[in-house]
Structure 1
């Protein structure tokens, strides 16, 4: 087996000194890399830097397991790595965008970056679905409160959500005649200065949404997220829980429709959120794989499938370069 140098751009909660690190999918993917004797380097977003045109990071090398790593970060050239996984969560703020610009300086003939920095900038997780209008619920993206109110009058029930956040943060359910309507829209649009997405509410949302996990455009696992009785959001951090789900023919049809675009944009690790066969979001920044929940449900090791895929990408890249 070839030994690769693998870099992880990690969210703060995934770093070795965070108490919840073992709960994350990134932790399990990283551990699987270590089991295969790959060289693993980790660095948070603030440790990225650009030296003229050379992308670098102050990185920690992880040894043997996630609890053994160099105590002080050291300077590495990102072009010396074989593959880099971006596992930094939103919000997609200025710092996040600038980090993708630094990663664009990585030599793509030497190093694979998953997901593509350019692809992440192109694929707003809330708006990318409208590249496939037949698969998406009706929606309007605007900061204009009158337009949103007109949209609500047309559909009676809507969801409003920010374009730069994740995990259900900042999302509201609105119903025609809601006395809090104006105050909520003033808050979410920052008094009509910030664009938001308003979507038609799908009645089957009360039965949860499906997270479909894609590797290289192909579905590999599926799970249902169910909301708790006191919230319409099914996100785990909002009290939702998970149930086993199967990959249906309709799921495969959706994947077939969108996979060409995803791969063209360098989006290899993707989480689709689906309600009633409609695409709600396409998660590409650091999609949650729910590995600790999925593995026992399906008697699999999803982290193994993920690292298998990474290694196949590296082999294919090496062959295409004439190695």
Structure 2
């Protein structure tokens, strides 16, 4: 039986991949809330134009038939945001607009609300031998993570005592075809055979391939045990920065030279240049415990890390993004 889905962020990195996958493998009906039209939208996708993440008043009757809301939309984390001034803007989009949509869903008797949050709710890094878990006390550091935590808490308060089930998913860094930002920069550097100063880096980081994240969201849409739970999601195979470089190099057919530059020296230089955020991601560890996913949902990622990186690099080459 087809599922009736309302999705936000349908033109974004995660949302667009989820939309394509659902349309490819099912006859589910989708309402896509978007700030712009979606070209060549399949017949089972109805695009509703909205200036925010809520349903326009004239389209509210559409919510009455919705089974699940998948809220992928957000004000994404920006590397150069001023943390002293941007928190309110993150709150306006990630908290207030999210709650407006959630209240509409409760009023329309929507069965389930899936909120795509962020591992930044847990924090920025993990110490050696420790992994973040879904049961940890949140310790967000930056405005984006704070806004995501606040949205989670307000959603949990809203649905308490109502019929609507809430599922919260906190992905780690997502990579896949069309990836941007630091991951794309790293692929470009490796593709150009530029030596990289990572030989002495000894970290471990969790990643999630876009295809695995999409499949996990699809599972959470229908699995009874997902209700009222928070999930951290990764590929289940953590990599060091040199290990990630090695896998990307193999996928590109390149040989990358790693230079043994002291990590403390690079961190100091980055601090002087005001780029400490980048070194945190390259040199520190961030690992997550995903055992809850297999225990509750019998989840196993369908794609390996090698497959995910190969698909990402293949798309990079095909799109001529070198």
- Do these two structures clear the TM 0.5 threshold for a shared fold by scoring above it? no
Which structure features the higher share of strand residues?
Answer: 1
Question: What's the TM-score bracket when you normalise by the shorter of the two chains?
Answer: 0.3 to 0.5
